[in-house]
Amino acid sequence: RWTHVGVPPADPILGLKVVFRQDPFTSSKIDLTVGAYRTNDGEPWVLPAVRVATERLLTADHEYLPIDGLPAFTRATQRLMYGDDVASAVTVQTLSGTGAVRLSLEFLKRFFDAPLYLPRITWSNHFNIARDAGFADPRTYAYLDDATSRLDFESMLADLDAAPDGSIVLLHLCAHNPTGVDLTLPQWEILADLFARKSLLPLFDSAYLGFATGDLDRDAKPFRLFFEKGLAPWACVSFSKNFGLYSERVGALHATVRVEERDAVLGHLKKIARAMYSNPPAFGARIVSTVLEDPDLYASWLDSLHVMSDRIFETRGLLRSHLENATRDHDWDHITSQIGMFCFTGLTKSQVLELREKHHVYMLDNGRVSMAGVNTRNVEPLAAAIAAVLED
């Protein structure tokens, strides 16, 4: 019956984690695969505010949420993104950032006849989500200059200028995945002018809000800039990284619409959600809203954002100096100029495979390293392994 169904390739991120787990070299293998925060001891971290909120929720019931999610959660998350100016925001609680991207693209495919543009290069799952939502052939716009591992802003502008007016353009809000290369604020301003001139629809993937710099307002700035310029941005927000709630699947889709359009847009988003998964899970959303609404827990959460982003920032410096010591004639400047969870090393696929096979170092085939997997214990062997494959 199923002989016509071939085995698909494993997921390049979550599939690789499975391969890592199966590697019997338990003492020396290094996991730089999935973007999930780790302490310097290589352990997952339950944020203190999340722990307190969880204890408070132990007696909560397990009733269904409304289709669009927990009202206290949607209200609180709107404020994180928009500040106080929420009159034109329609918000639906989603199955983390992935669910928000899927829900928004399902809606846009149905009601907004326009091509979709993704950055060249982007999170691999964007292509899966886009295709499953009916965008059979998502287009791409220039982003990273492979030769320099820096943003190719001129080509990005040229590609988006050549896009049909009214196209949907996915942008990474901050801590671009996989490159760690973001636009500067003056570049966002220039981009916003182009979006205005061409009536492009900005769809911000916001998986690292507060995680990139430790400063929520700074990380939200591109969205707010587009909003203030009247560009009606949408945002797909994940609370996996900034709350460490990976498995709870907590997220939100914010759609900026005219006030008189709110009921229709919300109604159809709910209709789509109802058919796909009915209504979202409550536990993680309750944790997030408990933290966001309690001043002490909120302050504790802001501290935790700094703890996580500071550790990653310091680890970048450490990795760079170990690599500079271990290699000659290599420029590692991009390790510290990139931001957020990931470092785009510039290593080739064959070097990455050699690292995996000979040294039990696991990074994505495209050379992406999850910086959270680097720590004071493994940074030296990691730099030595990279130096060894560069010499081969």
**Which residues form the interface with ligand LMR (CB under 6 A)?**
13, 34-35, 123, 125, 177
* Active-site residue identified among 68, 123, 152, 270: 123
Nearer to ligand LMR, 177 or 256 (CB): 177
Compute the least distance from the CB of residue 34 to ligand LMR, in Å: 4
Compute the least distance from the CB of residue 143 to ligand LMR, in Å: 16
Closest residue by beta carbon to ligand LMR: 35
Compute the least distance from the CB of residue 370 to ligand LMR, in Å: 6
Q: Is 123 a catalytic residue?
A: yes
Q: Name the β-bridge partners of 90.
A: 255
Nearer to ligand LMR, 227 or 243 (CB): 243
Q: Is 145 a catalytic residue?
A: no
Q: Is 45 a catalytic residue?
A: no
Compute the least distance from the CB of residue 140 to ligand LMR, in Å: 18
Compute the least distance from the CB of residue 198 to ligand LMR, in Å: 29
* Active-site residue identified among 31, 152, 234, 241: 241
Nearer to ligand LMR, 67 or 121 (CB): 121
* Active-site residue identified among 182, 205, 219, 332: 205
Catalytically active residues, by annotation:
123, 205, 241
